[in-house]
Amino acid sequence: MDIMSMSIEQLRERLAEAGQPAYRAKQLYEWMHVRLAASYDEMTNLPKALRERFAAEWPLTVHEKVVVLESEIDGTRKYLFRLADGNVIESVWMKYHHGNSVCISSQVGCRMGCSFCASTIGGLVRNLEPSEMLGQIYAIQRDTGERVDNVVVMGTGEPLDNYDNLLIFLNMLTDENGLHISQRNVTVSTCGLVPKLRELADEKLAITAAISLHAPNDELRKKLMPVANAYSVKELLDAADYYVAVTGRRITFEYSLIDGVNDTDACARELAALLRSRNCHVNLIPVNPVRERNYRRSLVTNVLQFQKKLENEGINVTIRRELGSDIDAACGQLRRHYEARVGSEGGEG
């Protein structure tokens, strides 16, 4: 395990093996996870010889910033980071009136195969380590000089497909010895891996679960999301109910609107019937057209009508505010376009 994915206890053991006193664990942990040191050189209360030794033996997970795109409209920033093994991942920084949010990736690529999503086109490359999820937030906080208030795990990857690392990450992110972001300010978005969603409920964290529903019935959902072949809408909603019952947290359903596919009047009625009695919030996302796919986003009038129909049934609905519309917007597009470019130039790929 890399040094930045370790708990303080694990660090203590590692340091003891290296003949170091226990108090060094806390020092080191604080440099890595509170002060966000980008190198051992910054850790000035550690003896120089020790810093050199640690640097050689236990490299820090520090993401290299490859591309930053900043929206001229709203200041949203998209980051492309290079990992130690050469893979690239993307993260987004958004400014809201209630604070700064970072959207992070949980995997390099994704194997869920949703038909409207750019992140999954090249399949799954590998899981991210806990430190590689944290590293996105740390790099952005260092770069902007502003505190990150909210974290959403909604970038590339299916977080519940990288469950063990996700849990370590969540614990470290919200732990009082680290950045100490409130669990209430963390959202994990899933395409609906039902058994894992139930496991997550049993962790009894105060985080928000967001479920990518995108269709009100199995037939349509199967056309959009292969995961619907494994779990029915009913099983998914049962797991959502379980999450609410166990954690007391309201759940969010995400619904990306695709013109003529899932934005019809019949879909709105069917969705309303499903969610009417549930303690939930619906987030409508006009689909981001992906170059490699032929979906079109719903017309603004349809989006508003869809919202109205749900609201008429007493359902709480918001339309995702579009941020950074002037920069590569859809999930996974920045990475894809970067890799396509590097690949065609015969670069490192």
- Percentage helix, strand, coil for the chain under 3-state DSSP, each rounded to 5: 40, 20, 40
Q: Which of residues 248-287 bind ligand SAH (CB under 6 A)?
A: 254, 256, 285, 287
Q: What is the separation of C-alpha 318 from the centre of its chain, rounded to a whole number of angstroms?
A: 20
Place of tokens 């490359």: 125
Q: Which is nearer to ligand SAH, 62 or 284 (CB)?
A: 284
User: Tell me, what DSSP letter sits at residue 149?
Assistant: -
| 189 sits near ligand SAH (criterion: CB under 6 A) | yes
CA atoms within 13 A on the CB side of 87: 16
Indicate the residue among 20 and 76 with the shorter CB distance to ligand SAH: 76
Q: Please tell me the count of residues contacting ligand SAH according to CB under 6 A.
A: 18
Residue matched to tokens 């894809």: 336
Single out the catalytic residue among 57, 90, 199, 345: 90
Annotation marks residue 331 as catalytic:
yes
Q: How far is CA 66 from CA 83, 86, 90, 139, in A?
A: 10, 11, 10, 12
Radius of gyration of the CA atoms of the chain, in A: 21
Nearest partner of 318 among 279, 284, 288, judged by Cα: 284
Catalytic residue among 292, 331, 345, 348: 331
Active site residue 267: no
Query: Is residue 288 near ligand SAH by the rule CB under 6 A?
Result: yes
Nearer to ligand SAH, 117 or 261 (CB): 117
Site string for ligand SAH, 135-154 (x = CB under 6 A): -------------------x
Q: Which stretch binds ligand SAH (CB under 6 A): 45-53, 64-72, 137-145, 188-196?
A: 188-196
Position among 32, 80, 331, 334 found at the interface with ligand SAH (CB under 6 A): 331
Rounded Cα distance between 209 and 152, Å, is: 10
Q: Are 155 and 104 in contact (CB under 8 A)?
A: yes
Between 59 and 226, whose beta carbon lies closer to ligand SAH? 226
Q: Which sequence positions are flagged as catalytic?
A: 90, 331
Site residues, ligand SAH (CB under 6 A): 112, 114, 116-117, 154, 158, 189-191, 212, 254, 256, 285, 287-288, 290, 330-331
